[in-house]
A and B are shown apart, each in its own frame.
Chain A
Amino acid sequence: MCLSIPARIDSIEGDMATVSVGGVTYQANLQLLDDVQTGDYILLHTGFAIQKLDPEEALETLQTFEDFDALNRQMDEEEKKSGERII
């Protein structure tokens, strides 16, 4: 029910935008958001843009996976060297 999908804004006319999801286009009402522009990604829910997606946060979340893994490996190495468990 709360299903929302990431969609890219292709064009804006007044309160309405044409957005695309994997090549399929939909109409999205923009009344629930301020400051959206062509090229932004939004979450589309029942014909409304309910939130803007943040590209920096999106990349950061992916980076966190990498960083966490790197940290984990580093701690594994240190544990092996010292013979003590860190976490």
Chain B
Amino acid sequence: MIRYIDEYRNKEMVLRLAGQIREATSRSLRFMEVCGGHTMAIHKFGIPSLLPGNIRLLSGPGCPVCVTDRKFIDQAVSYARRSDVIITTYGDLIRVPGSSSTLDAEKSKGSDIRIIYSILDALAIAKQNPGKKIIFPGIGFETTTPPSAAGILKAREEGITNFYLLSSHKVMPPAMEALIDEGVEIDGYIAPGHVSTITGTSIYRDIPGKFGLGCVISGFEPLDLMQSILMLALQMERGEPKVEIQYRRAVRPEGNPKALEMIRKVFEPRDDWWRGLGILKSSGLGLREEYSDMDAEKTIPVEVEKTREDKGCRCGDILKGLATPGECKLFDRVCTPLNPVGACMVSNEGACHAWYRYRT
């Protein structure tokens, strides 16, 4: 019976793959992972130490917390200060610094902020507290958006009228293309595994053809990552960049059509801001007009402080692979997981956090 985890952590096989990667190419190659989960796994399992010197891995903009605008946190903080509001949020957001506060700090000052495991918990809280407005700050890429869409549809179906979404949901492809346009030098993408379970392969279609980059959709275990790197190395060695799925046990070429349909029903594309990349066309998702009664931005006006960014923090460059965390002056001096300056340190899937924690 396969259990889907242990089998992909076989040390002997990992070492054999390391040998195969070494033999596959002597070219100097740079591959970028664009999923925060991959960043964590790569450092946790010490993948860089298993690779030959000619292959380098870079972290990209795939940690939603890291790319999210400070203004979004500021807005959530402003809502949290209202006595008629309960903020329901995934744990990821709670310590992310806004311009002058965090949700965590507001909670300790008495705001009603509840960490939830699922958007369904937020709906239950809405039902239990009919006199309050329940706001859910929604962040995340294609993996996280379908549950938000399902939550909105369920709220409508059950006649819940005090549930609101503050959306900062984003889609991955515009960022992957923007990086290349900005001149970030890479040879291929280790493409996000769980985003791809929803989207399938079509979103990467242009990357090999238009930009000549390889693109391998990878799983999250050591064997998955090593095999994906080998597949990318072989593509480059043969001069045949293409989209391949390594994570075949979870990713179908067509993705999850039901989840995609749900996203389309509830959300529509809009321009959005990414830390390091600026405003990217059609890279964000806002609620469609017919669900605007559940759109916190449109229905609950609130004063938001002027956005302030920290000077010296190189999160923006790090998210583009232009600097490593070690090249930031604040890293490990001023900026640590206990006292983070930038989002890349606060999020446990940020590149700075992964570097600090695993010292790879």
Contacts and interface: CB of A to CB of B under 8 A. Distances in A.
A13 B22 CA distance: 50
Contacts of A65: 13, 16-17, 223, 227
A2 B120 contact: no
Contact of A43 (B13, B194, B258): B194
A46 B16 contact: no
B194 A29 contact: no
A2 B143 contact: yes
A32 B256 contact: yes
Contacts of A2: 35-37, 140-141, 143-144, 192, 194-195
Contacts of A51: 197-198, 250-252, 256
Nearest to A60: B248
Contacts of B23: 72, 87
Interface string B14-29: 0011001001100000
Contacts of A29: 118, 120, 147, 150
A3 B349 CA distance: 10
B147 A62 contact: no
Contacts of A84: none
Nearest to A71: B20
Interface stretch (B1-9, B70-78, B182-190, B203-211): B1-9
Interface string A47-84: 11011011101111110110011001000000000000
A76 to B, nearest CB: 9
A71 to B, nearest CB: 10
A16 B195 CA distance: 23
Contacts of B24: 87
The contact size tier of chain A is 20 to 34
Q: Is the interface of B mostly helix, strand, loop or mixed?
A: helix
B92 interface: yes
Contact of A45 (B3, B8, B194): B194
A47 B23 CA distance: 43
Contacts of B198: 50-51
B2 A55 contact: yes
A42 to B, nearest CB: 10
B249 A61 contact: yes
Given A58-B249, A68-B20, A3 B37 contact: yes
A55 B3 CA distance: 9
A45 B144 contact: yes
Given A29-B118, A32-B146, A58-B2, A4 B194 contact: yes
Interface of B: 2-5, 7-8, 13, 16-17, 20, 23-24, 35-37, 63-65, 90, 92, 117-121, 139-141, 143-144, 146-147, 150, 192, 194-195, 197-198, 219, 223-224, 227, 237, 246, 248-252, 256, 258-259, 262, 347, 349
Given A33-B258, A47-B147, 10 more contacts: A1-B36, A1-B349, A3-B37, A29-B150, A32-B146, A32-B258, A51-B250, A55-B249, A58-B249, A59-B2
